[in-house]
Chain A
Amino acid sequence: MQQLGERRVGRHTTVSVCRDSTMARVLLSTVRSYTPKLSALQLPRSACAWKNTAKHFSTTHRQLSNYKYTEKHEWVAVDGNIGTIGITNYAQEALGDIVYAQLPEVDTQYEQMEECGALESVKAASELYCPVSGKVTEINAAVEDQPSLINKSCYEEGWLFKLELTVPSEIDELMDEAAYEKFLKESEE
């Protein structure tokens, strides 16, 4: 199994992200996380010793700390090697009522920042840009049928499409939630 990276992000927090697993193996033991408290395994920095001992679990509910943000108000939630893409609350408010969502086609490959679709609202077609490089694996048919889902629930049901990441390091360059909030405050000034 390939270990992508392991980082110490706080006094009691070590984050390890591994590929080749369909479920994210993320262990957090900090009080401020939004996830339920997991079995606290102290990891040695060098080895992935918990490979055999760690419990598998599936992240069925959205962990807000997993979301990464771009300056153009898109979010990416990474789950193993699959990234789910959507637009943020700021973007959906700015667009207004979305009347049609043109999503990318499945199995198409996109580079980072390449145009991959459009959202139409009040006669303005707003381009969708792919925040990370990858190949589209799934699109949200519910949003094709009912575009207002994006306005109502842009982080959950209003997700746009999923893709298989081809350059996972691009995720690290994106903003996390705190940085995005700061970015929003600075743009308002």
Chain B
Amino acid sequence: MALRKLASDALARGMLASEALVGKELSSIPKAWASTSAAVKVKNTKKTEDLKDAPKRTVFISQSSDVFSNLALEDWLYKNWSFERRNVLLLWRNSPCVVIGRHQNPQVEANLSYLESAGVPLARRGSGGGAVYHDHGNLNCTFFTTRDRYDRHTNLEMICRALHLDFGIQAHPNSRDDIILDHDHKVSGSAAKLGRNTAYHHCTLLVNTDRHQLKLTLNGDKSIKSKATASTPAHVMNLSEMKPGITVEQVLTSVGRAFLGHDQHLANGFTLVNPTDEWFPGLGELEAVLRSSRWLEGQTPRCTVTRCVPIPQGLLPHASNTSLAVTVQAYHGLVEEVRMEDDSGKEGVAELVQDIGAGLRGAPFTSDTFNIIAGRLRFSPALTHFPIPASARPIPTPTRSVI
């Protein structure tokens, strides 16, 4: 794997060995790192006291490409570490997956049936914002700081500077904190989570992503109405379209070096991390929460969906009506209420629909829910009260007359 090559390069240059850094403080700067940057003179613009108090900078590179492990690692660092004396940049990549924001609706954002058929998992992150597609051509960067030092724009400016200096790519952050290339094409989107003392800002960086797959996966059901955070669609572009041959590893090194800066007293180097329970005790529990349906579906805000459901002919006064507009209201992924969209002059049917709703309350709201409602409408025992012509009644299953 290319990441292993990078790791061995990093180690060859005398950077800190990975096993020495499991959740421990990085106390000393390796001498080899100091010697490679010996050519760069430290510009002593700040007073010595400021330099001593300034936070140390560390870059972590995750060795996992599992989205749940990486999100759990992000969560672990956010919950367990203090960033008073250090700023951390976590660089990670995932196998193909879709990640939605904390308050989004998965059905609205992603094409769930396509995800299932393509084997692409869906994950929900803890920060806000919209839905994104990750794969091996996308680099994720998470900047951890204290809540006071949270500053998205500076982080994005740093990334743009790195891209310009190392690859000659002219990119700039816009007012929405997206990184834009070529006037209006988005190569990066940002989101953040703010806690009591700690905050993190993370962003994607499209280096060489499969844009076709991106379009197919982020193609959800927009007919669902809700107060959930909506994604803002944008024209996306890969960095490789501006600079052919660019790889994620190169961008990773470039961004990491720019983050560490020229000040060797503050730079703690690159560190490879493995998001497992052995390295980060308690990470397994965080990962289990991220995989649970309580988190994935249970955080979905209230939404309403209206669909036309087929009904037995004759149920409604006009014999030609064969479908009924039914609205389902769901909260936290469970059915809350089922009602008819337009219930003028159809009281009997409205009650029937409400009975079905009472029966379905608390059941998970899935793509199958409307089929279930149609089935119950068709075979409901209450239909005997309706003047449905015998020809329109559902045909009973023939019973065996011969034993």
Cα–Cα distance between A99 and B104 once the two chains are bound (Å): 12
Nearest Cβ in chain A — how far from B337, in angstroms? 14
Nearest B residue to A126 by beta-carbon distance?
A: B194
Return the contact of A120 from the options B102, B176, B196 (Cβ within 8 A): B102
Per-position 1/0 for A100-126, Cβ under 8 A of B: 101000000000010000101111111
Interface residues of A in 135-152 (CB under 8 A from B): 144-145, 147
In the bound complex, do residue B192 and residue A125 qualify as a contact, i.e. CB atoms below 8 Å apart?
yes
A129: Cβ under 8 A from any B Cβ: yes
A72 at the interface (CB under 8 A from B): yes
Query: Given A72-B196, A100-B301, A102-B299, are A124 and B229 also a contact pair (CB < 8 Å)?
Result: no
Q: Which residues of A contact B130 (CB under 8 A)?
A: 123
Asked if residues B102 and A127 are in contact (CB atoms below 8 Å), the reply is no
Contact with A along B191-208 (1 / 0, CB 8 A): 111111000000000000
Whether the pair A124, B299 counts as a contact (CB closer than 8 A) is: no
A102 near B103 with CB under 8 A, answer yes
Is there a chain A Cβ closer than 8 Å to B227's Cβ? yes
**B190 adjacent to chain A (CB < 8 Å):** yes
List B contacts of A121 (CB < 8 A): 128
Asked if B103 and A125 sit within 8 Å, CB to CB, the answer is yes
- B301: chain A residues at CB < 8 Å are 100, 102, 144
How many angstroms between the C-alpha atoms of A145 and B176 in the bound complex? 24
Given contacts A102-B103, A144-B302, contact A124 B227 (CB under 8 A): no
Is the Cβ of B126 less than 8 Å from the Cβ of A125?
yes
Interface SS majority for chain B: loop
Contacts of B177 in A (CB 8 A): 123
Among residues of A, the one whose C-beta sits closest to the C-beta of B198 is A127
Establish whether residues A123 and B103, one from each chain, have CB atoms under 8 Å apart when the complex forms.
no
Contact of A118 among B102, B176, B228, B302 (CB under 8 A): B102
Chain A contributes a number of interface residues (CB within 8 A of B) equal to 18
Interface flag for B127 (CB, 8 Å)? yes
Does chain A have a CB within 8 A of B129? yes
B193 touches A124 (CB 8 A): yes
With most chain B CB atoms within 10 A of its CB, the pick from A99, A123, A144 is A123
Interface string of A59-70 (1 = CB under 8 A from B): 000000000000
Q: How far is the CA of A122 from the CA of B227 in the complex (A)?
A: 15
B227 touches A100 (CB 8 A): yes
| CA of A100 to CA of B128, assembled, Å | 9
From known contacts A100-B228, A102-B103, infer whether A120 and B128 are also in contact, taking CB-CB under 8 Å.
Answer: yes
Query: Restricting to A58-84, which residues have a CB under 8 Å from any CB of B?
Result: 72
| Chain A hits for B127, CB < 8 A | 123-125
By the criterion CB–CB under 8 Å, are B103 and A144 in contact? no
Whether A123 contacts B196 by the Cβ 8 Å rule is no
Q: Are A125 and B193 in contact (CB under 8 A)?
A: yes
The minimal Cβ–Cβ distance linking A108 to chain B, given in whole angstroms, is 13
Q: For residue A100, give the distance in angstroms from its CB to the closest CB of chain B.
A: 5
9 A/B residue pairs, CB under 8 Å, sorted by A: A100-B128, A100-B227, A102-B299, A123-B101, A123-B129, A123-B130, A125-B103, A127-B193, A129-B196
Besides A120-B101, A123-B128, 10 other A-B contacts (C-beta < 8 A): A102-B301, A123-B127, A123-B177, A123-B191, A125-B101, A125-B128, A125-B191, A125-B192, A129-B196, A147-B227
List of 5 A-B pairs having minimum Cβ-Cβ separation, nearest first = A123-B129, A125-B128, A124-B192, A120-B128, A126-B194
